[in-house]
Every structure is written in structure tokens, then in C-alpha cells.
Structure 1
């Protein structure tokens, strides 16, 4: 019986090379962010995406640039995947004026609407409702764009999810709800928080199509997202995808992750998504060792450059303190 690696996939050499370079950049950026946090160059909250890179890669190749992404506070990788530069992302982690949110948002609040990336949200589950709102806007404007709304297994316990699912199905909104199930929420396993262990089944109450996907495989993520996106573009409404993944680090930089064993972590590292893509490239001889090393060096230089950019960037000026807090809006129907 043939295994998955023996079967010729529809993905091209270019697909795998794109995935490898992107996923390696996400991995190295997050590793560097963790190192800099330990050096106190980065302060505040910081949630790393290490181990979950296949989700970002597969979602990118299954969507188009005009589609919208929105996520929670573990947002660095999706922001970079969607087109934000490593420079502006690292500068934001440093709290510098050249950051994507002018140094005011920090790790949890990356934002670039011009790239189709709408956050970066620190309130657990809040982005689920906002994601449906992005989809409603596209539907209202008559585009065929879709919204991908990412959230964690912990956020699946929020009331916002159920209210949003009901409305999204009622209005057939073009939104794909993606639960990045890394098994532990902040530090509590799924088994200790719910009687429903298969999160994709939450869609059943709303007759919403759903599926569970291997989040350590870029191919599986691409195929699952592609099916859901096709339905949404056709006006058939939302889908819930439970993408089972694993974060190698703690929930945040302050989490020693003592609630799981070293053996469990090592077991998942054997299925490392970056290595899986690299092995496929090597097996099919789609790149020489020299070409692979050139990609590795390119990524290394990008990460070093973004740190240098952040280090040399200015801090926000004092007159920025109250800017961007409120939006000035004139209402012609209000009479003084």
C-alpha cells in the first residue's frame, strides 16, 4: 500500500519551495523573537507560533491576496505570511515607531489592512465575531473574497463562537472558521475543558459543514482550506475547520509548559512541518543542497536584518500618545 509520500501530489516544485522558504522564515523569526525576549529587548506578552507553520503555509496557497485573515494574539506568523515585512513586525515587537502598529500594539496587535491582515486580537474569541463581520462586508460589496478567521481551542469555549456561527449560517457568510487546536489553550488540555473533544463537531448544531485536518501537513491544510474557500466563493456559506497542530513552546513566554511531558513534545517534533516539506523537496530532487542552503542563508539574513532594523528604529514620539485612540467622525444628523 502506497504511503502519502509515494503518491504524486498536485502540488508543484514551486509550491514546495514557496512553502519551505515561508515556513523557515516563520520558524526563524519566532525563534529569534523568543531569544530577544529573554534578553529583554522585547517586553510584554509574546506568543510564539513554532510548530504551527504548516497552517500559515497551506492557508496562503489555498487563498488569494484579496482574501482577509484575522486571528488572535499568536499572530506574528500569519501576519508575515500575509505579506507584512519581518522588519515592521520585529520593530513592533520592540515597540518602535517603525512597527506595523507604530509601536503601540506590540506582539498581540499586528495589523495591516492593506495586506488583508486584520489582527492580532488580545481578547479571547473576540476575533470570531469580527471575522464574520469581514465576511459580511465582502458579501455586501458583492466581491467573491472570503475571510479566514483563526482562533485557538480555548476560544472555542466562548459564547461569541456560537452567536457568530448562528448568524454566519443564517446569512451564508463567506467565512472559514479555523480552530488551530494545539491541544492546550493557555495550559489546560481540551479534555479538561469540554465534553466535546472533537471541536469540529460544534458546527453540527448549526448544520455547518466541518472537517478535522492534520495541521502538521501543509498539503492537508491547503486541501482542507481550498474546499472550504470554494464553497464560500460559490455562496454556500461558512465552514468550520479543526486543524490539529502543536506548539513546541509554552502558551506564552511566561509559560514553562510543565503540564506536558518531554516525550510528547519530541513525538510531535518527529512530524515537524518544516522538515516534512524539506524532505519532499529532497526526495523529488527539486533543489540541490546548494540551493537549499541558499534559501537557509537568505532567511538567516532576513531575520538578522529585521533585528538590526528594529534596533536602529526610533521610539514613538511623545505626541503620539493619544493618537489612534479615537477616530474623528462627523455625523451630519446630529445638531448641536
Structure 2
């Protein structure tokens, strides 16, 4: 258990430490304006403000009060234009790796989104699972609705579709095939098992709505469905690219096959027309059964049923193919 706890702490700290760096600058701006200028500045305003290096040094946070060198290093970084440019570049690269916007609910919780969406749509009920899906389609005032059959393109982030599909399949395995996910709240145990636990300290779906105290851990759950590892965004993108490439390849092969069959039919038609112009009997239309739709008869006229290929009725086929007088092949002498 200690090893598991150490891994969790390590993962959480990987996010908390950069957040401390970010929050320290904002708090320094707020504290400086409060203590020096006697004015109130909120976080939204502080994010767009900058101080000089000397001004930052006047308001160190309590957890760095005795570490002047560290605070001076941070202040020097915040005042370095090259550092800001590199930071913005890294953020843009991370953003480009995302399949789409994270969600459309803004700073409000999933429950708040559900209430606002319901109020904006005539009081329609909106459960937690439905709110999770809608929050990845549009804002509360937009004309968005939930349909389990919607394709991945209906969501702002491609990873959401796979989560919705996997959770729905697992829930119907537990609650029955008639279970409607849009009318029920999220099942914390299902989210825990299908999502493979809490990755980076967060639930797979609806992290802000699931009660941690009442949700069992993976080690204490032994019922179906089985525990599944969480697919990463990169894995989902690779699967989508592979599926797209396979679909394009199938479409290309189908088009090439249709072009080939059309070309073969055209060539066969030209050959039959030429043979007919020489007076020789054409081969039967079903001579090339591999072509879709068969080969049309010469001139587009279908011979009557029972007719000879040479056009001479009531005669054997062999009688229509006499040996040419000029043929080098002669009959064998009698024995």
C-alpha cells in the first residue's frame, strides 16, 4: 500500500508543483495591490497584470518567506520575456495535442451545468451522465441534445465518445439492456472499474460529481464489470486514425474495383461488336461471370431463350461452325 500511495503522491505532485508556481505569481500581484496600493484585485484581473522584479520581491508568499534566493529566481523568471515566450509555446504545443476542447461548462460544476441546461430547455430533466455528454457538445444555452447513437464527431473531444460508449455498455451489463443512461446519475463504482481507478487523482467521468467517501476503491470491489485500463488520448487518436485509414482504403478499393469492372465491360462490348462485324458468332454473355452485372450482349439486344449463339434456331451449335475450306486442318483419313 505504501508503494501505491507513493505513486499517487508523485502523480499529484507533478500537477500541484506547477500550479504552485502559477498561483504564486497571481497571489503576489493581488497582495502587492492590496498592501501597497490599497486596492482590491481579483484573480481574473491579476492574471493579466505584471509586476517588476523589485515589486515581486516585496510580497513573497509565506511558504517562501525564508527562501529569498528561490523567490528571487521565480521573480526573475516572471520578468523574462524569453521565458514567457517559451512557456506560451509549450502551452500551444500541449493544446495542439488535444483532440478538441476539454468541455463547454466553463468554471461551473457538472451539476450546475445540468441545472442551467434544464432551465434553458423548458425544464427538461438532465442527469449527471447526460450533463457530462452535453457539456462536451456545447454550452447550456446552445441547442444540444443527448443521443447515445451520436458519432464521435458530435462531441468536441473525440475521447468523450469512447468513454460514453464504454460506460453505457458496462452499465447495461450490470443494470440490464433496457437501462437508459440519460435518466440516471453516474454510478461511482462503475466509473471506478471501467475507468481503471483514479488517474492522476481524478475519476474517469464526472470527477466533480462523484462522492469519494461512498465510492469503493478498486481493491474493495470484486463484482462485474471487470477492471479496464484507461486508454490515453494518444491511444484513442491512433485508433481513430487507423479506423479512418481503413475506411478510406476500403472506399478506394471499391472505387478501383468499380472502375476495373466498367473498363472490362467496355472492352468486352467492343470485342463483341468487332466479332459480330466479322460475321463470326459471339461468345455467350455469361462467358465472364466474374464481372458484376455480367457483360451486355452485342448491340444491347438480349437473344431469346433457347437461341443458338450464332443466331440460327433449332440447330446444334456444332453445325454453325463448319471447317473453313482454307483451313490447314483437314479431316483424318479413314482407318
How high is the TM-score relative to the length of structure 1?
A: 0.24
Query: Greater helix percent: which structure?
Result: 2
How high is the TM-score relative to the length of structure 2?
A: 0.24
Structure scoring higher RCO (CA < 8 A, sep ≥ 6) equals 1
Query: Greater strand percent: which structure?
Result: 1
Which is greater in Rg? Answer: 2
